Structure 1
Amino acid sequence: MNTLLDENFSQVYRPLAADFANAVSEINCKDEVLEPFLPLYGPLYETADTRIVFVGIETKGWGSLNGFVTQALQNPESALFRHSDVFDELLFCKEIWGNNFGTGFWDFIFKFLAKFYCIEDWKQLKQGQHPEILQSFAWANTNAVERHHVTAEKHGLSKQQWDIIKTASKPFDRAKHMIDALQPHLMIILSWNTPDEWLTDDTGPIEPVNKIETYLYHYYLSDTNTNVL
């Protein structure tokens, strides 16, 4: 049975997925070519005392465009949840998702969560311990579709075809959709080059930025009671 969060997420993203699938349905490409990345959240996110969303810039190889389009044309809602195994199976704890230096995207998330939840050794999270924490946050990106050179070019997708896909994916790339769907208490944007407009264009009133350090800014979205770092 869908939760209230699932229903809310579907209400926001289902029409976007259907429109995207219709816009790119004529593109013929390899199965390895990217599909749009939509926000993912753990099964304990909805009931977490603090709903945290970590926002990166893009994935590096994600799913199958053909698979997503086929599913979205048949049942747009099911396409939204086709990667739920990421949280169900804690796939981000697998070795191939990180590096050996403790400096990657997921390492930062593990370290942050360890500090936030008073876990002394952050590597316990990296090893898949404390699923009650690891299934309580959400993961999103500012760009649903990766840049052309990241993976699409390697799989033979022309720049012209990629431009069509990228243009069709633009409606996904709005902070408002993410906030409306996930209703986070705390959003942590890890893409330093993300323009302020991505967050401020249509999110409602926003408090003046508070510069804490060179690479650390704080915003407050009063409409949704969301703190943004």
Structure 2
Amino acid sequence: MSGVFISFEGPDGAGKTTALNAVLPELQKRAKKEIVATREPGGSPIAEKIRDLILDVKNLEMDDRTEALLYAAQRRQHLIDIILPNLEADKIVISDRFVDSSIAYQGGGRQIGVDAVTSINDFAIEGTMPELTVYFDVPSEVGLDRIKSNRSGTEDRLEKEKIEFHQRVRDTYMKLQEQSPDRIQVINANQDTLQVAQDVLELIITKFPNLFN
């Protein structure tokens, strides 16, 4: 495949989606290839239906391993429907979350185990991994405070978890970064949004200088 795959990762309230929306117009203006932005969970019709099931606050009795399997299932469908076809078409694909989210949230946060969650996702993705993962790091307390301050609707199932859950998620993300420092690059998300967006833009352009003017 000749395309380029980039993922954005981070704990709840890190501001990765806000940053993606902020930098996307500038990246599109400078890019020598077409950029496709997508998200997980979801990204394609079937995957979006699985997203609704996973995040529905009414599904409080969902088993942790069921949750992990559903995330892997939507990821497989998203990969087949969106990611792989666009990479094969020589496009830049930027996904708001990918496999690292499952490892951090279900493996670490739910305490299922990193190896177990990695295993079921290896089956789903068949070796497809981002060339760059932009990880937005923010203290758990700050992220949760942002969610409470900015959200107008109801928190989803994961956002409702206790602070200890979110701390385990962050800790797992940092361990993943230590294991893959070339792929996973850290952005200090505990800054104002303009500075975060500028840092992200510089990181991506520096990583792929041949893709941007």
TM, length-normalised to structure 1 = 0.29
Larger Rg: 1
Structure having the higher helix fraction is 2
Q: Which has the higher contact order (CA 8 A, sep 6+)?
A: 2
